[in-house]
Structure 1
Amino acid sequence: MYDIESLYEATSVDDACRALAEDPKAIVVAGGTDVLVKCREGKLAGAHLVSIHNLTDELFGVRLAQDGTVEIGPATWFNSVTTSPVAQRTVQTLCDACDTPGGPQLRVSGTIGGNVCNAATSADTASTLLAYGALLDVRSARGTRTIPIDQWYTGPGRCVRERDEVLVNIRIPRENYEGWTGHYFKYGKRRALEIATMGCCCLVKLAADKSTIEDIRLAFGVAAPTPMRATGAEDAVRGLTVAEAAEKIGELAQAETHPRDSWRASKDFRLQLIKEMSRRSLIMAARRGGADI
């Protein structure tokens, strides 16, 4: 049974913000693939829901702004990000990440905004959006504010978004994707319908010789209580050849990540995953950029 006390279908983002402000118990629901599961499990007993599911004009789709910024509506389904021509042309690695959650049914109902707002370190888009340096716009009856994604997560399943705020836009600036190629690597015990045991995204920008790493971003999910960048590893391999970086990056990433023991995997196994996934993701990202390795 779904223990839902009330459901309000918002007619606009401003209407959703008003409803959230007026009801201190109200929470946002979009695709419902996380919220409704929690309702069914009794974790949100007597829920007051404000639905933004039908606000497609304001919150759905992938667009390219005049300044080259990729703008993703948070109510956009995973599958719609994956198949978007704009996203494929600009943020291909995010398309790949959006093609990994759950199965086909979830990917045409679950939303990228829900994946962000759920704030799980295992969220499949989390490490990739972190690597791309996404900017998150949230709105409430008090106004709008922008939160860089590296300031979004505060702990397991927690973020800085207030209860009465609606995520209204996910933005990736042009300089954060232009000239970059990447690879998202999800490890689980099976290929589908699996929560990530470890997620790793590597983006690289190669020098003109296609063998030297001009810049790099390496991000993880499930390597710490929140999604994280391995900035020390990035700094250490920047300027090296791809081959040199591939030899070093795994151990460097291990040294600054903090995975935990859980029923899904031990800490030691996750550390081994971090080492191997870092190396493989770097090589795949570099190959996409034209490196011969």
Structure 2
Amino acid sequence: MYNIQGYFEVESVNEATALLAAAPHLLVIAGGTDVLIKMHHGQIEKAELLSIRKIKSLQGVVKLEDGTILIGSLTTFTQIANDPVIKENIPVLAEAALTMGGPQIRNVATIGGNICNGATSADSASTLFALDARLKLQSNQGERVVPIQEFYLGPGKVDLKPGELLTQIIISPENYRGYGGHYIKFSMRKAMDIATLGVAVICKVKQGNILEDVRIGLGVAGPTPLRCPEAEAFARGKTISPETIAEIGKLAVKATQARTSWRASKEYREHLVEELTQRALKAAIVKAGGEAIA
């Protein structure tokens, strides 16, 4: 069932990167909710595992004096959903965290593992895209920071070089201050299911009825999570109205690369993008202090 050839456990980032430099074939495991399933299904064979779950420096959420929020890659979805910094400053991420699996999964699944798995359906990804998150990657040679939109390369493929670990998710204050946000996960079941579509919308409103800024992150609308630049550009400076919101929904579809799968047809996914973008935007407007639109 699990053909594990070797198992190593470390307690610091330096230990981990040193081991990975010497043995880049090691498969990094934290919560194990993705890796162990792949092993169980035979997608990974004869693995040597490197457990990083005991690295305390990669756990938790910190808000710096300048407002930058740092999320350790080993922070679990339960911790994210309950963290006071997240709930106060970026509650839309807490919303997304609560849609991930059931309580048992959320207690062990980490946000870093969710990102590094490279799945377009990752429940954290569309929200982090909308927040313009950056990722800190560390190796034995040093560290680099990349925008999350550049990290996803294709289905299940990410820009994680041999020997690198994702250590932090970075969210700058200008990407959340003054914004309201809302996340919608559409799935065939109410719980414990992979998203058929994930939509995260954050927006900033001025004078109660003007869209100062809108950002739309989509999951399962293409081979990777994505943003909707045409819809976002159209929204800026527009008066909030049913017509404006309807047009934003239509333009969001233009950014998609939806395909037909056993979960949903291409046409149905595009319908969901248009409809759920509007619903999420209406909720985000209210959370940003704007006027409610029926």
Measured against the shorter chain, the TM-score band is: over 0.9
Per the TM alignment, residue 289 of structure 1 is displaced from its structure 2 partner at its CA by: 1.4
**Distance between the aligned counterparts of 2:190 and 2:227, measured in 1?**
25
Q: Does 1:130 align with 2:129?
A: yes
Can you list the C-alpha shifts for 1:168-199, whole angstroms capped at 9, x where unaligned? 11110011000001000110011111100000
User: Any conservation in 1 of the 2:227–2:255 contact (CA below 8 Å)?
Assistant: no
Q: Aligned-pair distance for 1:272?
A: 0.4
Alignment of 1:80 with 2:83, yes or no, is no
Mean CA deviation greater in 261-270 or 162-171: 162-171
The worse-fitting range, judged by mean Cα deviation, of 161-170 and 70-79 is 161-170
Deviations 1:213-243 (A, max 9, x none): 0011011001111110001000012111221
SS in 2 for 1:145: strand
Q: Which residue of 1 aligns with 2:2?
A: 2
**In 1, Cα distance between equivalents of 2:112 and 2:251:** 31
Say whether the 8 Å CA contact 1:27–1:164 is kept in structure 2. Answer: no
SS class of match (2:163): coil
> Which residue in the other structure is 1:20 paired with?
20
* TM-score (norm: length of structure 1): 0.97
Query: Structure 1: which amino acid aligns with 2:221?
Result: A
Correspondence 1:1-293 to 2 at 5 A:
1-56=1-56, 58-207=57-206, 209-243=207-241, 244-293=243-292
AA partner of residue 138 (structure 2): R
Gapped regions of structure 2 (runs ≥ 5): none
Identity of aligned residues (%): 43
**Structure 2 CA distance, aligned partners of 1:245 and 1:69?**
32
Q: Any conservation in 2 of the 1:67–1:174 contact (CA below 8 Å)?
A: yes
Unaligned runs of 5+ in 1: none
Letter of the structure 1 residue corresponding to residue 174 of structure 2: E
Q: Aligned partners of 1:292 and 1:140: how far apart in 2?
A: 48
* SS in structure 2 of the partner of residue 129 of structure 1: helix
Q: Which runs of 4+ in 1 moved over 4 A?
A: none
Backbone CA RMSD of aligned residues: 0.9
Aligned length: 291
Query: In structure 2, what is the Cα distance between the partners aligned to 1:245 and 1:202?
Result: 15
Answer yes or no: is the 8 Å Cα contact 1:93–1:184 preserved in 2: yes
